[in-house]
Chains A and B, each alone.
Chain A
Amino acid sequence: MTQIVAEHAQQFAAPAEHSAPTSPSPEIAVKADHLYKVFGRRPHDIVKKLEGGASREDLAHLGTAAVIDASFEVQRGEIFVVMGLSGSGKSTLIRMLNGLLEATSGTVTVGDTRITGLPAAKLRDVRRRSVSMVFQHFALLPHRSVIDNVAYGLEIQGMPRVERLAKARTIIRLVGLDGWADSMPSELSGGMQQRVGLGRALAADTDVLLMDEAFSALDPLIRREMQEQLIELQAELGKTIIFITHDLNEAMFLGDRIAVMRDGRIVQIGTPEDILTDPANDYVAQFVQDVDRARVLTAGSVMEPVRSMVTVNSGPRAALRTMRDLQTSATFVVGRDLGFVGVVRDRDVLKQVKANHPDLRPIIKEATAVSTDTALVDLVEPAVESDLPIAVVDARNRLLGVIPRVTLLAALGNVTTTTGELPITEPPSTISLSVITETLRETASEGAQL
């Protein structure tokens, strides 16, 4: 993947030579700076009024302000989703990013090339080499076969026929259309047609991919499949993707970051979890209330601090005491470096203590541990199967937190759990306090005698 990025960087250097380089920042793939698009008779006057604080409604009689003061930066290799209802200006915004529409005011920078104000021929060159696009209604050339459609971008780049067809065949395999190369688009289902559209954009091998409601015209099942495939492809190819959608669930599923648009303005930019847990205003809050939280929220964002935890070396007595104090029947066991080991149950520990066995290791049981970025939807099954809280670990397997069932339920239902007064201890203790205390005292005296 690093190799791909390096090659793209080289591709980027080429157009930059003959156009005014702006701030050279290799990590920013696309940058929009105070972008306005106004349709009307005297658009610049309208922009001035908007800058002066006039609202879009006030100026409706003069013209339509489709995009108002949009600024954002898209990192290289990021999936950046622009989400909004129809009429929010998102399609206009994406068309300014490759110069299909000229910005009324503000600048767009792709890689090192400033798109705004570029002469038509150079703009075409940028589109050929740096930015490709996938369309809502596929926009395939109906009179050309699948392979010729996929090779279209390469054809315009001037690649010889045999070479571009060979490359198109590789792409056709990549998008899962093996065997359909010589079919006509009309013979394909919607989902397959959009695979051709995606293949056409991927074949052009540009760093940036603009996707305009690319999956909105597809059936829900196909849409899901395409979304998953897009994420796989993105991980494989490392493209920068700017994805437009009106579907919040799609935005949340695909987006590394999401820009929410309303009436031409970007009202919030943030990660899906930011937007879900900390909406910028009532509009966003109302918007996100229907979202499928189970797919967006991750274990890391809902986990609670670990209360019941002992180290392997601390022995059964310490474990039993911890459980007694927290009135729980199980406790997590970690290694010296906080590495997650497993869980011990009070009955087992009690036996061990009674037998005066100093080691916890024989009675440690396996427990479910998930990484911080696991979606809540994937926690439901482990939560059903075991009454233990689910352990959340980082990449080095250190125990970071736990998710008791109550927490999981509360997160899914968008209810606050942490009252601060009642720590959630799951599972509840099964052995009475007195028994534990008694046992501890007895064994303690034995230990003292020994």
Chain B
Amino acid sequence: MNDFRIPLGSWADDFIAFITDNFSFLFDFVRTIFNGAYEFVDLVLASPPFWVIVLVAGALGLMVRGWKFAVGAVVGLIVIVGVDQWQNAMDSLALVLVASVLAILVSIPLGILAAKSDLASKIIRPILDFMQTMPAFVYLIPALILFRVGVVPGIEATIIFAMAPGVRLTELGIRSVDREVVEAGEAFGASPARILRQIQLPLAMPTVMAGINQVIMLSLSMVVIAGMVGAGGLGQQVVASLSRIDVSLGFEAGLAVVILAIFLDRMTASLGTGSTPIGRLLAARKHRRQSAAAAAESAISAPVADLKTPQPA
């Protein structure tokens, strides 16, 4: 019995070796793209003085949620500056933003596909289960081989780990759109693409936004793990504090992660509800545009009004 051994591990090893040998150009290409995107976002976030970013964050908070949240955001970010983690926090934020955007870009189309096709849904679901439950460290190993030490394996592992809720909630959102409303689109002769764009996606938007929120939160939780492969930022600080048993550094870096997490969560959570100051602003603009259109149209409606429908007296 002791001889019984399924060599799954060595197969996985062979597989990674195979793609390393044959597709290294592809991974070099991906590496360049990811790295470029990260460097750019990090440049934008880390090069201006901290108070510029703090003010921008405060202004965003004011627009999205109101003044209380804006004040909280400014105070929180100043705490990060105060514990001397600003540079690391900006590195981590850049990593989270790049990884989240990429994860969303992949997961929303996948979610749409899964919602439209039962077969796709059946194939995608176990893959997502696998991706979500496999311990996140495991992704780092092949990522290290394929992309070498640095930010890119961190981004890659983050994308794989974080995209599952994006796919799932997009699928759920589209599938739970009222069947009759979709049918109405069909009954009036709308094409499937148009139904998706004008009916399914807008109505699924709160659920999709919840998915995006989850993607960002999971990305942030991966930041620490990414620190183990040299991704830098707050993760590296946490890993360093662990190896040195440095409580103060660990607490400060950890607190910075928490502050970033709360800020990103509240920002993205309120985008989905549409009840934000910015949402109201957009609605007011839309309304103005509509009444302008109505005015324009009433000006010309006299010649257009000779419709078949008689005017009620």
Tell me if chain B binds chain A: yes
Indicate which residue in B183, B189, B300, B308 contacts A156 across the interface (CB closer than 8 Å).
B189
**Chain B residues numbered 294-313 whose CB sits less than 8 Å from any CB in chain A:** 294, 296-298, 300-301, 304-305, 307-312
Given the interface contacts A143-B203, A169-B301, does A136 sit within 8 Å of B180 by beta carbon? yes
Interface string of B168-198 (1 = CB under 8 A from A): 0000000000101101101111110010001
- A385 at interface, CB cutoff 8 A: no
Chain A residues contacting B186 (CB-CB under 8 Å) are: 100, 127
Q: What is the CB-to-nearest-CB distance from A342 to chain B, in angstroms, rounded to a whole number? A: 35
Given A141-B199, A143-B203, A145-B290; A205-B308 close (CB under 8 Å): yes
Q: Does B125 contact A (CB under 8 A)?
A: no
Does the CB pair B294–A165 fall under 8 Å? yes
Query: A141-B199, A182-B290 in contact; A166/B297 too (CB < 8 A)?
Result: yes
Partner of A170, one of B180, B202, B300, B305: B305
Q: Is the CB of A161 within 8 A of B293?
A: yes
- Asked if B187 and A100 make an inter-chain contact with CB atoms under 8 angstroms apart, the answer reads yes
CA of A299 to CA of B198, assembled, Å: 52
Per-residue contact bits, chain A 88-115, to B (CB 8 Å; 1 contact, 0 not): 0000000000101000000000000000
- Cα A157 to Cα B189 in complex, Å, equals 8
CA distance A132 to B186 in the complex (A): 10
| Cβ 8 A contact of B309, one of A133, A174, A200 | A174
B287 CB within 8 Å of chain A: yes
User: Is there a chain B Cβ closer than 8 Å to A52's Cβ?
Assistant: no
Give CA–CA (A410, B198) in the complex, Å: 57
Question: Is residue A140 contacting chain B, with contact meaning CB distance below 8 A?
Answer: yes
Nearest chain A residue, comparing its CB with the CB of B202: A143
Nearest B residue to A182, CB-CB: B290
Interface residues of A in 156-182 (CB under 8 A from B): 156-157, 161-163, 165-167, 169-171, 173-174, 181-182
Would B184 and A139 count as touching, CB distance under 8 A?
yes
Interface of B is mostly: helix
CB-CB under 8 A from A137, the residues of chain B are 178, 180
Establish whether residues B309 and A171, one from each chain, have CB atoms under 8 Å apart when the complex forms. yes
Residues of chain A in range 112-131 having any CB-CB distance to chain B below 8 Å: 124-129, 131
Nearest-CB distance from B32 to chain A (Å)?
A: 41
Count the B residues whose beta carbon is within 8 Å of the partner chain — how many? 34
The answer to whether the Cβ of A381 comes within 8 Å of any Cβ in the partner chain is no
Question: When chains A and B are docked, how far (Å) is the Cα of A129 from the Cα of B188?
Answer: 9
Contact among A98, A161, A167 with B187 in the assembled complex (CB-CB below 8 Å):
A98
Chain B residue nearest to A130 in the complex (CB): B189
Closest residue on chain B to residue A202 by CB atoms: B309
A-side contacts of B180, CB under 8 Å: 135-137, 139
Known: A127-B186, A170-B311. A139 touches B178 (CB 8 A): yes
Contact with A along B262-305 (1 / 0, CB 8 A): 00000000000000000000000001001101101110110011
In chain A, residues 252-280, which have Cβ atoms closer than 8 Å to a Cβ of chain B? Answer: none
Q: Is A13 an interface residue (CB 8 A)?
A: no
Q: Which residues of B contact A156 (CB under 8 A)?
A: 188-190, 194
Contact among B190, B287, B312 for A174, CB-based, below 8 A: B312
User: B188, B310, B312: which contacts A128 (Cβ < 8 A)?
Assistant: B188
| Closest CB in chain B relative to A37 CB, distance in Å | 16
A142 CB within 8 Å of chain B: yes
Decide: B287 and A182 in contact? CB cutoff 8 A: yes
B interface residues, Cβ below 8 angstroms from A? 178, 180-181, 183-184, 186-191, 194, 198-199, 202-203, 287, 290-291, 293-294, 296-298, 300-301, 304-305, 307-312
12 additional A-B pairs beyond A124-B190, A162-B296, A236-B310, beta carbons within 8 Å, are: A124-B189, A125-B189, A127-B189, A128-B188, A131-B187, A135-B184, A141-B181, A156-B190, A161-B293, A167-B304, A169-B297, A237-B308
3 nearest A-B pairs in the assembled complex, by CB-CB distance: A128-B189, A127-B189, A139-B184
In the assembled complex, 6 residue pairs joining A and B whose CB atoms fall closer than 8 Å, in A order, are A124-B190, A126-B189, A166-B297, A170-B305, A181-B294, A204-B188
